[in-house]
């Protein structure tokens, strides 16, 4: 661990006016709060906040961000409080520390519905002060660098979360170096065999071809000197994950890859960038289709650079990036360049992007996603998108992700134009609507009154904005039909129990079922989201016929007479959930929930799959599930939790503590339930208890049948 003086020296190098006394005070406070705590590796816990702070000095960030890094785990893991930090270090730092704490508590690798909601919260936190996510990214980077001390299942969970959320977010913020390192560290956990194979091939290639990086760098410098241009030249090999991803995308072997080396040329002025480009293309043959000018058309995160690929020595492809020193600083720090300091003052970099403007481009249409699936799809599309730039007939530039079509182009201009598209012209030629657009093309959209989006369009577009608009239009178009159908289904259901349907009765049922109004209830019944029988039973419970009791020894349909049945320990499915059976030698049929991660292992063994379903009726409360709770460490709280579970006719079969802190407990409660509806009742009751901070159903893919 670096010393206190070392950290202050790192900050002082770029900010001579730093408040060293405040940083020392934060160091002493953090060390005192974390005293006695250790990491999984056995090191003192405070080595982690110090390492995070040191990482942020590489981005030349302000004192508030450095101090936040030193304190970022105090509220979560120690007896420290928001008010105490605000009193000692000011409200700004308290807000930042609290923001990082809230991000840490988000479970981004949970179920899709919860993941979507938590990613929304993450983006809201980012929009308030982006320094929160900078600290969180540095925190995740250090944790990934030291992940080997964690349990294998936790390593895999953190690596997947990093690969899906934090790495692409870092890339979208313009911090490409951090994205690449996070991806590669995750790759090392998730697919170590593939990574080691690529590293071995790299070593073999270097042994066979010598020091390629130095030779090509020397060639480039020689050409620039002949042209009288001053520039710095750096070469590097691409990261193993970047190479592996390209091999997967292009279905190539390692020996077929040609552009595994990249070079950067740092010039003095933007004009020199284009002069250098002329020298490079004059000396080496440019590869068609591999040129991008992000100087004239910068990315939303401020990234500017010229990218070109040329055929170098021995016909091998070489990727070259050309930019100025200021552009390079933004390329390294991304949106964080907005806070960068030099000589004690905020460095004024003309290419640094305003964080508020950047976050608005990321979240502009995310709130339009009506459901969790659409939101997650949109987030991931936005995170991973690379850009192409196309032109309207008037010369306006439209930025789109790679793979976009004329339909995406139309919706990017306006939803009304997208809804009315009948055809498109690209560079003056009529093209199909599924045509993939390329950089620099001019696109003309042809519309017609009366045209409506087609359901097939969903598969033709790649932007979240277009997908959301098409789905909304299709839903509105179907709504009138669903309302008519729902009204007829409800009329028949009411007549079946001798009751008269009325707007007042439907309004009452809608309120009881948490539906907006009677019209929406009709629409949901027509769309088969709610059954007409359920509406009638909600209003008139006495008309609901009693369901038969289900024998716990034979609870599923689909088994042969001689086949036995057990629930998979990895997912512990409940009656009411969709299930599938897998045959295991000596174990009979094991039922997995349809969304169980373990099922992916049997994709290529269809002969082992058995179609199962739970029998209709009332199941006995014998099906165990595990609930992980975080509760306040106050007198009587645990008793109230147990009483609530008992009041809902659920039996507690086991209880164990995971973590005991001065202000809260984390524990796992195993309960026996009738089915998924019973589970929701119990979880809703516990969630409503003020002393319960968090509740989740836990599943463990490592528990194989």
Parent domain of 454? 385-462
pLDDT band at 338 (very low <50, low <70, confident <90, very high): low
Q: In this structure, are 172 and 203 located in the same domain?
A: no
Name residues whose C-beta falls within 8 Å of residue 641's C-beta, 6 or more positions apart in sequence: 629, 631, 669, 686, 689, 691, 692
Q: How many helices (H) and strands (E) does the chain have?
A: 27, 23
Would you say residue 355 lies in a domain? no
Note whether 236 and 302 are same-domain residues: yes
- CATH of residue 631's domain is 3.30.70.260
Q: Report residue 209's pLDDT band, with 50, 70 and 90 as the boundaries.
A: low
Q: Give 467's pLDDT tier (boundaries 50, 70, 90).
A: confident
What pLDDT is attached to residue 81?
92
690 and 591 share one domain: yes
Domain count, the chain: 5
Residue 668: CB atoms within 10 Å = 15
Longest dimension (CA), the chain: 96
Provide the residue count of the chain. 705
Query: Over 80: is that where the pLDDT of 90 sits?
Result: yes
Q: Please tell me the predicted confidence (pLDDT) of residue 347.
A: 61
Q: Is residue 375 part of a domain?
A: no
Digit-coded pLDDT (tens) for 640-659: 899 889 888 889 999 999 88
CA distances from 567 to 13, 58, 654, 672 (A): 61, 51, 18, 13
Residue 663, pLDDT > 90, answer no
Least confident residue range of 38-42, 57-61, 116-120, 406-410: 116-120
CA angle 456–459–465, rounded 5-degree value = 105
> What secondary structure, in 3-state letters, does 471-506 show?
HHHHHHHHHHHHHHHHHHHHHHHHHHCCCCCCHHHH
What is the average per-residue pLDDT within 72-91?
A: 92
Is 76 in the active site?
yes
pLDDT at 69: 95
Q: What is the pLDDT of residue 110?
A: 47
Q: Which of 19, 58, 62, 76 is catalytic?
A: 76
Are 608 and 507 in the same domain? no
| 668-695: pLDDT as tens digits | 999 999 998 889 888 878 887 778 888 9
Q: What's the average model confidence in pLDDT over 219-242?
A: 90
Span between the terminal Cα atoms of the chain, in Å = 43
Whether 384 has a pLDDT exceeding 60, the answer reads no
Considering the domain architecture, whether residues 212 and 147 belong to the same structural domain is answered as no
Contact in structure between 323 and 264 (CB atoms under 8 Å): yes
pLDDT at 52: 95
Binning pLDDT at 50, 70 and 90, where does residue 606 land? confident
pLDDT band at 379 (very low <50, low <70, confident <90, very high): low
CA distance 488 to 482: 10
Tokens of 198: 């690529």
Residue partners of 607: CB distance under 8 A and separation at least 6: none
326 classed as catalytic? no
Residue pair 462/381 in contact by the 8 Å Cβ criterion: yes
Position 301 scores a pLDDT of 72
Q: Are residues 505 and 561 in the same domain?
A: no
**What percent of the chain has pLDDT above 90?**
31
| Three-class secondary structure of residue 517 per DSSP | coil
pLDDT in tens, 539-594: 887 666 556 778 888 889 888 877 788 999 999 999 988 899 999 887 789 999 98
Find the CATH number of the domain harbouring 303. 3.30.460.10
371 occurs within a structural domain: no
Regarding whether 129 and 15 lie in a shared domain, the answer is yes
Average pLDDT over residues 514-525: 88
Cβ atoms of 132 and 96 closer than 8 Å: yes
Domain boundary among 462, 494, 517: 462
Give the DSSP letter of residue 38.
B
Same structural domain, 476 and 597? no
Task: Point out the catalytic residue in the list 19, 58, 77, 670.
Answer: 77
Residue 366 resides in a domain: no
Domain boundary among the residues 417, 443, 462 is at 462
Tokens of 11: 């900050």
Could you say which DSSP state residue 44 is in? B
Q: Give the integer Cα–Cα distance in Å for 123 and 362.
A: 9
> What is the three-class DSSP state of 670?
strand
Q: Which of 445-454, 475-484, 524-533 reaches the highest mean pLDDT?
A: 445-454
Helix, strand, coil shares, percent, the chain, to 5:
50, 15, 30
Position 111 scores a pLDDT of 46
How far apart are the C-alpha atoms of 143 and 122, rounded to whole Å?
19
Q: Please check whether residues 273 and 175 belong to one and the same domain.
A: no
pLDDT average, residue stretch 96-106: 79
Assess whether 231 and 264 both reside in one domain: yes
How much is the pLDDT for 372? 46
What the block records as the tokens of 671 is 């309960």
Q: Give a yes or no: residue 167 inside a domain.
A: yes
Q: What is the pTM of this model?
A: 0.55
pLDDT at 241: 86
User: In this model, does residue 145 exceed pLDDT 70?
Assistant: yes
Closest CA to 463 of 371, 396, 398: 398
Of 174 and 343, the one with more pLDDT: 174
Which band of pLDDT confidence, cut at 50, 70 and 90, is reported for residue 210? low
Average pLDDT over residues 273-280: 94
Say how far apart CA 679 and CA 622 lie, in whole Å: 12
pLDDT number for residue 582: 92
Residue 351 domain-assigned?
no
Residue at 510 is within a domain: yes
Final residue of a structural domain among 157, 189, 221: 189
Contacts for 423 with CB less than 8 Å, ≥ 6 apart: 430, 433, 446
Residues 2-31 as b or e (16 or more Cβ within 10 Å = b) = eebeebbebbbebbeebbbebbeebbebbb
Lowest mean pLDDT among 16-20, 258-262, 516-520, 544-548: 544-548
Tell whether the model's pLDDT for residue 414 goes beyond 70. Answer: yes
Report how far apart, in Å, the C-alpha atoms of 388 and of each of 151, 228, 385, 446, 683 are.
42, 33, 10, 21, 46
| pLDDT score, position 8 | 94
> Which pLDDT value is given to residue 256?
53
Q: What is the mean pLDDT of residues 171-198?
A: 87
Report whether pLDDT(70) > 50.
yes
Q: Which residue has the higher pLDDT, 489 or 421?
A: 421
Query: Among all chains, which residue has been given the structure tokens 């930025």?
Result: 399
**Contacts (Cβ under 8 Å, ≥6 apart) of 290:** 307, 308, 309, 319
The confidence score (pLDDT) of residue 122 equals 62
How many Å apart are CA 421 and CA 411, to the nearest integer?
A: 9
Average pLDDT, the chain: 83
Please determine, for residue 448, whether its predicted confidence score (pLDDT) is greater than 80.
yes
Are 479 and 609 in a shared domain?
no
Report whether pLDDT(383) > 70: no
Taking residues 231-241, what's their average pLDDT?
87
| Residue of 320, 289, 306, 328 whose CA lies nearest to 216 | 320
Residues 68, 201, single domain; the answer is no
Mean pLDDT across 687-704: 85
């Amino acid at each position: 661990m670096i010393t206190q003086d070392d950290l202050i020296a790192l900050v002082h190098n770029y900010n001579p006016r730093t408040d060293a006394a405040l940083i020392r005070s934060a160091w002493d406070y953090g060390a005192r709060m974390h005293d006695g705590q250790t990491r999984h590796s056995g090191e003192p816990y405070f080595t982690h906040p110090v390492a995070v702070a040191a990482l942020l000095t590489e981005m030349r960030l302000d004192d508030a961000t450095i101090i936040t890094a030193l304190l970022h785990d105090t509220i979560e893991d120690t007896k420290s409080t928001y008010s105490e930090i605000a009193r000692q270090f000011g409200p700004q730092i308290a807000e930042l520390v609290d923001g990082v704490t809230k991000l840490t508590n988000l479970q981004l690798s949970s179920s899709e519905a919860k993941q979507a909601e938590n990613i929304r919260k993450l983006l809201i936190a980012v929009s308030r002060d982006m320094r929160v996510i900078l600290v969180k990214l540095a925190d995740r980077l250090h944790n990934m660098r030291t992940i080997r001390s964690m349990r294998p299942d936790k390593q895999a969970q953190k690596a997947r979360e990093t690969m899906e959320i934090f790495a692409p977010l870092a890339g979208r913020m313009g911090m490409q170096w951090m994205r690449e390192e996070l991806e590669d560290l995750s790759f090392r956990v998730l697919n170590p065999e593939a990574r080691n194979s690529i590293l071995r091939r790299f070593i073999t290639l270097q042994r066979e071809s010598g020091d390629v990086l130095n030779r090509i760098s020397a060639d480039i410098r020689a050409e620039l000197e002949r042209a009288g241009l001053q520039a710095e030249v750096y070469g590097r090999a691409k990261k193993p994950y970047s190479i592996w991803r390209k091999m997967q995308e292009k279905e190539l072997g390692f020996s077929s890859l040609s552009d595994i080396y990249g070079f950067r040329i740092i010039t003095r002025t933007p004009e020199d960038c284009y002069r250098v480009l002329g020298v490079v293309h004059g000396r080496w043959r440019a590869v068609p289709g591999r040129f991008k000018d992000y100087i004239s058309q910068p990315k939303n995160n401020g990234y500017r650079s010229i990218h070109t690929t040329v055929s170098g020595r021995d016909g091998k492809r070489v990727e070259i990036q050309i930019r100025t020193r200021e552009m390079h600083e933004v390329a390294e720090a991304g949106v964080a360049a907005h806070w960068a300091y030099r000589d004690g003052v905020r460095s004024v970099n003309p290419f640094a992007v305003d964080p508020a403007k950047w976050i608005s481009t990321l979240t502009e249409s995310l709130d339009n996603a009506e459901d969790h699936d659409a939101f997650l799809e949109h987030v991931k599309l936005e995170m991973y998108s690379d850009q192409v730039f196309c032109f309207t007939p008037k010369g306006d530039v439209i930025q789109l992700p790679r793979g976009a079509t004329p339909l995406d182009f139309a919706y990017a201009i306006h939803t009304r134009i997208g809804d009315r598209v009948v055809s498109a012209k690209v560079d003056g030629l009529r093209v199909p609507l599924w045509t993939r657009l390329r950089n620099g093309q001019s696109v003309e959209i042809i519309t017609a009154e009366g045209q409506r989006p087609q359901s097939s369009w969903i598969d033709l577009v790649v932007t979240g904005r277009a997908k959301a608009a098409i789905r909304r239009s299709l839903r509105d178009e179907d709504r009138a039909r669903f309302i008519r159908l729902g009204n007829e289904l409800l009329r028949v259901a009411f007549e079946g129990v001798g009751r008269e349907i009325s707007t007042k009765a439907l309004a009452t049922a809608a309120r009881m079922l948490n539906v907006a109004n009677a019209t929406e209830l009709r629409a949901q019944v027509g769309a088969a989201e709610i059954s007409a029988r359920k509406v009638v039973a909600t209003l008139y419970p006495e008309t609901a016929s009693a369901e038969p009791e289900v024998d716990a020894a034979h609870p599923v349909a689909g088994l042969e007479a001689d086949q036995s049945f057990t629930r998979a320990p990895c997912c512990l499915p409940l009656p009411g959930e969709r299930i599938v059976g897998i045959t295991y030698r000596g174990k009979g049929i094991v039922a997995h929930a349809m969304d169980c991660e373990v099922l992916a292992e049997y994709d290529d063994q269809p002969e082992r799959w058995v179609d199962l379903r739970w029998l209709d009726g009332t199941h006995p409360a014998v099906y165990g599930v595990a609930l992980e709770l975080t509760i306040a460490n106050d007198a009587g709280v645990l008793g109230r939790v147990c009483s609530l579970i008992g009041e809902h006719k659920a039996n507690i079969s086991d209880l164990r503590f995971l973590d005991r802190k001065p202000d809260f407990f984390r524990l796992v409660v195993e309960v026996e339930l009738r089915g998924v509806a019973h589970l929701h009742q119990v979880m809703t009751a516990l969630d409503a208890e003020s002393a319960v901070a968090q509740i989740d159903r836990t599943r463990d893919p490592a528990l194989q049948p």
